[in-house]
Structure 1
Amino acid sequence: MTFPSFTSTETEPRARGAELGARLRGAVAANLAGYNALFAAAGATDGQVRAWGERALERAAGWAPHLADEIGGIAAGAGLEPWQVAVVNARTEILAALDVAGRGECSTSVVLPGDGLPPRTVQTWDWLGHLRDAPVLWAYEARPGHGVRTFTEAGALAKIGVNTAGLGVHFNILRHGADGADPGVPVHLIARRILDEAATVEEAADLARSATVSASTVITAVTAGGAGAIEISPAGVAVVPPGPGGVLLHCNHFLDPALAEGERLGAEEPGTYARLRHLRDHAAELGGEDVTGRALAMLSHAPGGAPVCAHPDPALPLGERWETLATIGLDVTAGRLLVHQGGPCQVTGTTWQVF
């Protein structure tokens, strides 16, 4: 099984968005409907969702006008209003406004082996089962000679990805006591600008610091020469460097000591700490050359605990049916993604989609 993919031919932001929106019209509408169902289950009214979408679009336009234009283009191509596509891009901010926590989420591993060898990375992408058809692989040129490939959701401008400058990003959600109800710059747009503009961890961190946010996330930036987990929250931005052996692991709680004082998700759902312990216990395998071996090192179902490889419980409410929808490695040297549809327990050497 593979995810749908699309390569843009347009380079002007609004035209590029319109091309994508027209090609993925049904997928964008379905993704929006899935989020509207999630927000409604969490108690949001249609009016609240629209107000949040409009506010997120306003904040996006103030920080990166060209990205707001691209959102408008996607809306035009998909037959939607710009605020509706902004809702998809601001889903993290809307969930923060609704104070929605999650028992499952993503786990990321980056190992820098040194001696001129390329970084070894892998992450699980956990999300809700009713949104399993949302992902799409998208390739485009941010500017002449600067290509980007991203694993994202239909209508969202970016998520996990690589660029031809040799930089890649992984993506995990966080929650902080400073998260607020007034949407700031969507964190997915921060990932997009990093992919579009950055070639180093330092440049990526500077872009993150330039945005006023209302929700928290960690964008782990990696290049051939370094890596850093860029923890982003309304309380500030911190960069967590690799530890001994070039190992940099992240789940869904803050690692920076100052930001960790405001930790929310781990305090409510401590399974994130168990997932990080699993990664630490398998750091040697996670540094292996073969992406299949790295993915299998992630394998932990931990019944009743904190699985790295999650499977949904259909008896739970809509917003609690967590599932590992993708397993992803970055090849920053070749500027490509290695994507498996599903969790590590289903990975074999032949299930990777190279994009």
Structure 2
Amino acid sequence: MKTIDGVHVLTAEGTAREVGLAHGSEAGELVKKTIAAYQTMFENQGIAWKKANAIARTYIPAITDYNPEFIEEMEGIAEGAGVPFDDILTLNCRSEITFQSGSTNTDGCTTVSVTPERAEHGDTLLCQTWDWKMALRECVLLLRVKKPGKPEIITLVEAGTLAKMGMNSAGVGILLNALASDCKAEGVPLLLALRGILEADNFCHAVAAATKKRVACCGNVMMATRDGEALDIELAGEDFDVLYPKESILVHTNHFVSNRVPRYPYKDTMKFGAASSFMRRGRVDKLLRMVEGPIGLSDIKRVFSDHADYPNGICSHENPTEPKADRYCTTCCVLMNLTKGEIHVCPANPCDTPFVKFTF
């Protein structure tokens, strides 16, 4: 592992187990920090770490059915980092554990896609701010995965987890918005479904990876391809819905937009605890549509640096008046140009931190 301008970078190659071993051995200290951060967070939510481990173990059959290599990779991470397998499994089920606790205290994000009709140079752009706990900022890792017979992956993860936002060498990119409903958290853990999407060799297979099996935790997966298509998949337990760009711009935050999911009798529970979501979605959409001419990454960076409704706006900063356990900030930001195969990473708030470019 190396650190480039504040971005931790690790390349892992080989079989699933070899990829996991490299991840765990090279980023072992970061993995342990991630475990410690979630242990504290779960305990603040009233979930003892052993209870979290037990919840995570219930997902092993669904993970094995979805892709048994993910179990092997997590075993490799655990071995490489010198931590119990259950701890790595728990990190990769962290959304489901939070979901089952009934807490709406989960990570927020603002996601954007601009398709070639509005994008500079006719490119496909896919960009996100990730708002989460300050303690997790130092655990973020740019993970490159090279497995035989699979597209190369670049994904920004919390050390110890298999995927989050990112892109692959087949031109598919994904982002994630946390969502929640009161349905049961049954199925494939969300972070592992994201890894399944990133291993897809084309856009159709990527959509299938998100929808062929029930995903346990609600979430919005924004997905795009270098061929110029983009969509949102709002995952809502037993069902999902698909949303498309309007005039080549697609924006999502942390509440359901579809009027079809969650299906009755279930409801969107996160909207009651994510007040900033409504403002962020409307403001990002408005600011992007105000751009005269083609939209470039520099325009999106400017929008993502916006401080309207500070400190809770698009570029989020910790609010010192809130209880420490409830404080959020923009932990990082990614700007992807899928046409060029570029990902620009900002390891902190985009308003005052440079981006670092990575390519395949």
Secondary structure (helix, strand or coil) at the match of 2:108 reads coil
How many aligned positions are there? 347
Instruction: Indicate yes or no: 2:140 matched with 1:135.
Output: yes
Instruction: Indicate yes or no: 2:160 matched with 1:155.
Output: yes
Instruction: Indicate yes or no: 2:7 matched with 1:6.
Output: no
Letter in 2 for 1:46: W
Give, in whole Å, the separation in 2 of the partners of 1:162 and 1:248. 18
Alignment map for 1:1-355 (pairs within 5 Å): 1-8=5-12, 10-102=13-105, 105-114=108-117, 117-144=122-149, 146-180=151-185, 184-200=187-203, 202-224=204-226, 225-243=228-246, 245-259=247-261, 262-284=267-289, 285=291, 288-303=294-309, 306-347=312-353, 351-355=354-358
Give, in whole Å, the separation in 2 of the partners of 1:204 and 1:190. 10
Letter in 1 for 2:156: F
Give, in whole Å, the separation in 2 of the partners of 1:92 and 1:335. 29
Give, in whole Å, the separation in 2 of the partners of 1:237 and 1:336. 30
Give the drift of 1:270. Answer: 3.0
Letter in 2 for 1:142: K
Task: Evaluate the alpha carbon distance shift between residue 113 and residue 287 of structure 1 in structure 2; reply closer, same or farther with a 3 A threshold.
Answer: farther
More moved, 45-54 vs 222-231: 45-54
Contact in 2 for aligned 1:103/1:320 (Cα 8 Å): no
Give, in whole Å, the separation in 2 of the partners of 1:309 and 1:88. 26
Q: Which runs of 5+ in 1 are unaligned?
A: none
Task: Evaluate the alpha carbon distance shift between residue 92 and residue 103 of structure 1 in structure 2; reply closer, same or farther with a 3 A threshold.
Answer: closer
Q: Which runs of 5+ in 2 are unaligned?
A: none
Task: Evaluate the alpha carbon distance shift between residue 22 and residue 34 of structure 1 in structure 2; reply closer, same or farther with a 3 A threshold.
Answer: same
1:2-56 alpha-carbon deviations (Å, 9 max, x no partner): 2110111x31101110111011111101101100100001001233111012123
What TM-score does the superposition give when structure 1 sets the normalisation length? 0.91
1:279-331 alpha-carbon deviations (Å, 9 max, x no partner): 12112349854323211112333447841111112443343110101111112
Task: Evaluate the alpha carbon distance shift between residue 194 and residue 119 of structure 1 in structure 2; reply closer, same or farther with a 3 A threshold.
Answer: same
Give the drift of 1:88. Answer: 0.8
More moved, 142-151 vs 120-129: 142-151
Task: Evaluate the alpha carbon distance shift between residue 216 and residue 145 of structure 1 in structure 2; reply closer, same or farther with a 3 A threshold.
Answer: closer
Letter in 2 for 1:187: L
Contact in 2 for aligned 1:18/1:74 (Cα 8 Å): yes
Contact in 2 for aligned 1:170/1:219 (Cα 8 Å): yes
